Chain A
């Protein structure tokens, strides 16, 4: 019985140890990984010592559904971050806010009616593992991968499993149409999460992966020499991500302070240097700080995020039928 008592005591200690409250507590919902959140919050802690940020983490989709479910009684104050398409679909749930610093971020990276602002922008790249090419020339363009010799050699993530993978597939569809997309779907190994794609390339399972720039760059920066990033000559696709203040936020002042902090040059620079999140601000020298090319030196194929969001069901269904047919 002693043991039981001990266990009960431990259980009670556990439940007491959780909630600490302060005047300026703000709840951050975040879909970013723990390291990224850590980088940002460490700086914000110094910038705004009175601000106690509690975080709730989860996938973007799950957090958005949660915000919607809590609409009557919001428990979160700020959500950081979601793709612009996803944010558009939930726009009724957000509180407009025009930060003093808004002008530092160009208009295409700002949401309608100040509902959100871009905090970082993903660039879709080809992540190449040179050791695994085995005589094949490194691909230079998306259409290189449409050639039959690439069959089974490169990976792409199932667009129904990942929002960023959807941006990629949508871009390919807009640029190369149904036929181009069909060839990619025929040749690719389709993975069930973004992580599987870039980890698979890093570990040598696939020679090439169509994936996120930051994720590929982590392996380069970590010292894996065989990993190279290729920005396709036909143009990369952008997938900007933004943050919002949740409508009805309990601590609106705290939410604004956190929002300003996350947008600040200091935080965005740190996120670039430590986590390779490409900033949306124009006053940061990306090439100098990180070894990634500056955005204006890259060829970009423009994709309308709103349209991408609107055509989601249809494009995913098309992809599924093309992928099934092989």
Chain B
């Protein structure tokens, strides 16, 4: 009797509650989306929308382009990320520490800012373009494939870099020594021993990069106006003044989800087949390199780092540049744009802070609770909770936005047009990351501590608060910060659900870029970057939280 009580109260009830919430806010919208994609106007079942898409020349082109773009950027990211990680893991060279940390910041810089600042540099009226034009040299247009491939590679190589770096650091150096002592030549040894270790990390992260590129909205929208792409097309169907048919939007969304689902399936197969378990060995010490090699390494890695950091610099320069309407007066400084943004229309800044902090609080509480249930109170229900919590990862922001707006626009629960939909959007989109983050330390907390507390007569719920939560403190803080960073820069889902008065900083940037006001966009960009970097600096410097541990 007693045991059953403990099972249902409090954990069983909390599990059910979490499940109901996730079902309602994640699973149900996707269900609505699916239903809408196969139901005609009269409510009859039909695959007409899919047939229409299949016969649409433009859509087929967009489908092809998205896959090609995904494959190209993924390949290039591997080309940049793997050597980069290898150099950082195995060699010592000047400025290595700086160079090793900086790329992680690129994950933090909002994509909209990356896209916008590359336009400021290489756009048809950009700094570099104009400088070359003055010399009589005409650079090829940055819009389209060139720009997208270039800037996306500089954002996404980081994922490959981090994954491979972790794999290389967990690598047991003795394996290599064993190979060498058996008489195999050094290069062959390295290839034979390292490739199997690094390959799974490369493949898994490559698939992540691929899905991110296919779902990418901000950079595609800013740079790809002449190349039809799935994400942009889905968004355009949604905002079309004709009102776009919900059936078509939903069908497009389902196809995007299907692409990611296939990729996730592949990823699971790859991990299961290729994963090697390695006894925790000592990674080989980094090798000091000679002077010319050191310069080459610092140079190669430095160029990549400088290029991926450049957007930050450009945004701040542009924020302080004099403008006249849409025309940037480079070289003339002014605080006009910032004054306009801060003085006359600071609402997007307040909105961003408000929505992101609410989403962070809700998301972290939910993530801590559900990861605790999933890891420490395993049963069939928590297993389902675990599966459902991964769902948002399969949906691109645009699709999530469409699903939420279709589900909560009418009926008995109307969230459209209120702050609630923005917070919901942020929370759902970033929840999987927060859960993963909160879980990381939970694995390391032995069950025995809890059992000890309970056997001393402390109720299970109080034990959670008094014993488990304090032990999780660091990962809660880092989950909170990562949740904050990623929500405050969220664009692709919120731009679908927002209405007047709910504008956030990324949306303001997007709209100002769209209206041709790069100066104002940069001023919002500078504010956004500040809001993003401040908590990181505080966390790392004041609270000494290891945010970017690369393991």
Chain A residues at the B interface, C-beta cutoff of 8 Å = 1-4, 7-8, 10-11, 14-15, 17-18, 29, 33-35, 38, 56-59, 61-63, 66, 160-163, 189, 191-193, 195-196, 198-200, 202-205, 215, 218-219, 221-224, 316, 324
Contacts and interface: CB of A to CB of B under 8 A. Distances in A.
A203 B241 contact: no
B124 to A, nearest CB: 3
Contacts of A2: 543
B123 interface: yes
Contact of B361 (A4, A56, A204): A4
Interface of B: 57, 123-125, 141, 143, 225-226, 236, 240-242, 323-327, 329, 340, 344-345, 350, 353-354, 357-358, 360-361, 364, 417, 473, 476-477, 480-481, 484, 499-501, 503, 514-517, 520, 539, 543
- Most A-side CB within 10 Å, residue of B236, B329, B340, B501: B501
A317 to B, nearest CB: 10
Contacts of B345: 34, 38
B516 A3 contact: no
B241 A61 contact: yes
B353 A205 contact: no
A174 B251 CA distance: 36
A14 B348 CA distance: 12
Given A8-B361, A38-B344, 11 more contacts: A3-B480, A3-B543, A4-B361, A7-B361, A10-B353, A14-B354, A34-B520, A62-B499, A198-B516, A204-B124, A219-B327
The list of the 6 closest CB pairs from A to B, nearest first, reads: A222-B327, A203-B124, A58-B500, A14-B354, A11-B357, A56-B500
B361 A163 contact: no
Given A3-B480, A161-B236, A218-B326, A62 B143 contact: no
A191 to B, nearest CB: 7
Given A14-B354, A223-B324, A193 B241 contact: no
Contact of A222 (B123, B225, B326): B326
Given A4-B364, A221-B324, A202 B503 contact: no
7 contacts: A17-B350, A59-B241, A189-B226, A191-B225, A202-B125, A202-B326, A223-B329
- State the main secondary structure of chain A at its contact with B: helix
- Most B-side CB within 10 Å, residue of A1, A7, A215: A7
Given A33-B515, A221-B324, A205 B480 contact: no
A205 B364 contact: no
Contacts of B361: 4, 7-8, 11
Nearest to A275: B325
Contacts of B484: 7
A34 B344 contact: yes
A219 B326 contact: yes
Contacts of A316: 242
- Most B-side CB within 10 Å, residue of A14, A160, A162: A14
Contacts of B143: 205
A172 to B, nearest CB: 19
A191 B143 CA distance: 13
A7 B514 contact: no
B25 to A, nearest CB: 19
A135 to B, nearest CB: 15
B487 to A, nearest CB: 11
Contacts of B417: 66
- Most B-side CB within 10 Å, residue of A1, A10, A59, A223: A10
B324 A160 contact: no
Given A8-B361, A198-B516, A192 B225 contact: yes
B499 A195 contact: no
B476 A203 contact: no
Nearest to A33: B515
B476 A4 contact: yes
A53 B326 CA distance: 26
B357 A10 contact: yes
A62 B473 CA distance: 44
A29 B500 contact: yes
Contacts of A34: 344-345, 520
Nearest to B119: A203
Nearest to A38: B344
A246 to B, nearest CB: 14
Given A66-B500, A163-B241, A7 B327 contact: no
A64 to B, nearest CB: 10
Contacts of B500: 29, 56-58, 62-63, 66
Contact of A162 (B123, B241, B360): B241
B432 to A, nearest CB: 20
B500 to A, nearest CB: 4
Contacts of A3: 477, 480-481, 539, 543
Contact of B125 (A35, A191, A195, A204): A204
A205 B124 contact: yes
Contact of A161 (B123, B241, B324, B364): B241
- Most A-side CB within 10 Å, residue of B125, B241, B520: B241
A223 B325 CA distance: 10
Contacts of B329: 223
B326 A7 contact: no
B503 A57 contact: yes
B242 A4 contact: no
Contact of A218 (B141, B325, B476, B514): B325
A4 B361 CA distance: 7
- Most A-side CB within 10 Å, residue of B143, B325, B515: B325
A58 B502 CA distance: 10
A186 to B, nearest CB: 16
Contact of A196 (B225, B242, B324): B225
A41 B241 CA distance: 28
Given A8-B357, A195-B514, A203 B125 contact: yes
B129 to A, nearest CB: 9
B473 A1 contact: yes
B325 A221 contact: yes
A133 to B, nearest CB: 14
Nearest to B362: A11
A222 B357 contact: no
A65 to B, nearest CB: 9
A223 B327 contact: yes
A7 B534 CA distance: 13
A222 B325 contact: yes
A196 B119 CA distance: 13
A186 B269 CA distance: 48
B200 to A, nearest CB: 35
